[in-house]
Amino acid sequence: MTDMLIRGGRALVQQDILDTFLQITDGEISAVGNGGAHASLDLDASGLLVMPGIVDIHGDAFERQMMPRPGVDFPIDVALLDSDRQAISNGLTTVFHATTWSWEPGLRSGDNAERLLGAIEAMRPRLFADTRFHLRHETYNLDAEAVLTQWLAAGRIDLLAFNDHMHSTVANLDKPHKRTRMVERTGLSDAAFDDLVSGVMARADEVPGSIARLADTARAHGIRMLSHDDESPEQRHAYRTMGVTLAEFPVNEATARAAADAGDHIVFGAPNVVRGGSHTGWTKAADMIAKGLCSVLASDYYYPAPLLAAFRLVADNILTLPEAWALISSAPATAAGLTDRGRLAEGLRADILLIDDQVPQRPRIVAVIAGGRLVQLTEPERLSRTSPVRKAVAAA
């Protein structure tokens, strides 16, 4: 593995932006601000920010590569490679693919989840981002419990989320636009979809016991858990008592405040920040951040969003850049139990971004180092310490 030096940039070290340099050896940051003066690859980051790689604990934009249009499938390996390159180009060096296993057939079926998990496991050596599996379990999908228990025990699931979209599904059955989208995703006829929903709802009394058993298994194997779209402090408390310590997209301030008071990790979507609000009309993430009620931002459905959100928060005078960056790097790493990344410090994994921030709110990634490998480079002449331009300047 190539050893590197990054010189001349403005680096985020602890809570400060400092003029310093980094040395990378064997995939790790071996020195910050001191150390050897030579390396196989010497990068001049003058004029650039040097930031920790983004840790994305919930992203499902890969679904668009798998099924870009309803009923139009592409091979999973092709979709994963394309998603990986998109993630890396937007600074996401650790990616948790948030994969929904629902009671539905089609895109979010068990067969699809199993194929995706197998593909991730097989393709990890070919992927630039450290790619992990975030299983979004639809709690009414009772028939999945036995397989999920096996996957949890085998360590194949990196994060487990409890989702309940059943009631919103029922509520949307009489809304033509939303109904059409749901039905098309499954590939069923209207009548068959209605029959399926009725059958799933008939087993509602079995759901709480299934959740409790899966939470017990995940907790026993040290797997972090999330609850999705918590609607009340009481619901958040119920999940917390089962060891579910990440509150993902709480739908109102009261629930987010209850989570914060209890020390839970609170996840909101970075697209919410970039767009100035939720596309569903629910909680505005920037308001939650300003009130100290959000600790993690995730890409959700749009890979460029975390990078853009951090700079939007700075431009709106909500957070400083170090505070905003923590939401997309060190905080999600901590929430996911990853102690080896999210910061620029000696001994940590070398996930590093070189960013041109000259244009307000339009940061541009010039280079990405993931696990000590230079995997993205858009302007090699700009970073070369021996380019013809730099030689001419030095000689003048």
pLDDT (tens digit per residue) in 333-374 = 999 999 999 999 999 999 999 999 999 889 999 999 999 999
Task: Tabulate helix, strand, coil % of the chain (nearest 5).
Answer: 40, 25, 35
- pLDDT-above-70 percentage for the chain: 95
Distance CA 55, CA 292 (A): 20
Instruction: Express each pLDDT in 218-272 by its tens digit.
Output: 999 999 999 999 999 999 999 999 999 999 999 999 999 999 999 999 999 999 9
Does residue 88 contact residue 129 with C-beta atoms inside 8 Å? yes
Chain centroid to Cα 191, Å, comes to: 36
Q: What CATH architecture applies to the domain 4-52+344-395?
A: Roll (2.30)
CATH number of 54-335: 3.20.20.140
Q: What is the residue extent of each domain of the chain?
A: 4-52+344-395, 54-335
Task: Report long-range pairs for 376-384 (Cβ below 8 Å, ≥24 apart).
Answer: 376/88, 376/89, 376/128, 382/44, 383/43, 383/44, 383/45, 383/354, 384/44
DSSP state of 106: G
AA letter at 213: R
Is the full-model pTM beyond 0.85? yes
Q: Structure tokens of 64? A: 């668009």
3-class DSSP assignment, residue 346: coil
Instruction: Quote the CA–CA distance of 204 and 206 in Å, as a whole number.
Output: 5
- Predicted confidence at residue 298, as pLDDT, reads 97
What number of CA atoms fall less than 13 Å from residue 245's CA on the CB side?
15
**CA within 13 Å, CB half, 250:** 29
Domains 4-52+344-395 and 54-335 share a fold: no
* Token pair recorded at residue 102: 């629902």
pLDDT of residue 186: 79
pLDDT tens readout for residues 281-304: 678 999 999 999 999 999 999 999
